[in-house]
Amino acid sequence: MSVPVFVTQEIGRTLVDENKWMPTVTIDVSQSPQVADLARVHAIEGIGDVSTHAIRQDDAVVLGVQMTSPVQAIFAVAFSFAQHREFLKDVAEAGALIFATTNVENAIEDQPLWLSVDIDGGALLETLRNSGDLRK
């Protein structure tokens, strides 16, 4: 089974409620139609079963996402530990991450569906701590 791995393009925050900002990563899913369609499927069918895991090798932190319902899907996003360390800590603390899969400049007007996933924050923090560069 081939797992699509996306490279982080941009990081930021998305306002999801009046006073709630969620960590957001932009990825290019144009070559992966199944991943591109996940936000629509989850908007119609509900969140379903999602699990996440993270590994670190050298400067790369790879966050894996696996869904078993309402559809089966698996993908991963690669981050640079040096560049995204604080952002990844924010993701772990929030326990969620939004995957922006469309043009962010048009988001206010277009109001696209983006995929929001619950993240195993404890496991992500543990992965970051085990790297030896993040203090408890």
Q: What is the pLDDT of residues 114-128, one digit of tens each?
A: 889 999 999 999 999
Q: What is the pLDDT of residues 34-76, one digit of tens each?
A: 898 998 888 888 777 899 999 999 999 999 999 988 888 999 9
Distances (CA, A) of 41 to 58, 68, 109, 116, 123: 35, 13, 21, 12, 27
Residue 101 structure tokens? 């899969």
Cis peptide preceding 70, ω within 30 of 0: yes
Classify residue 80 as exposed, middle or buried by CB count within 10 Å of its CB (0-12, 13-18, 19+).
middle
Reported confidence tier of residue 136, pLDDT bands at 50, 70, 90: very low
Dihedral sign (CA 50, 122, 2, 82): positive
- At 8, the amino acid letter reads T
Q: Per-residue pLDDT for 5 more than 60?
A: yes
Delimit the domains of the chain by residue range: 5-129
List Cβ<8 Å contacts ≥24 apart for 53-62: 53/120, 53/123, 54/123, 54/124, 54/127, 54/128, 55/127, 56/81, 56/127, 56/128, 56/130, 56/131, 61/88, 61/127, 61/128, 62/5
Q: Could you give the percent of the chain with pLDDT greater than 90?
A: 56
Reported confidence tier of residue 106, pLDDT bands at 50, 70, 90: confident
Q: Per-residue pLDDT for 9 more than 80?
A: yes
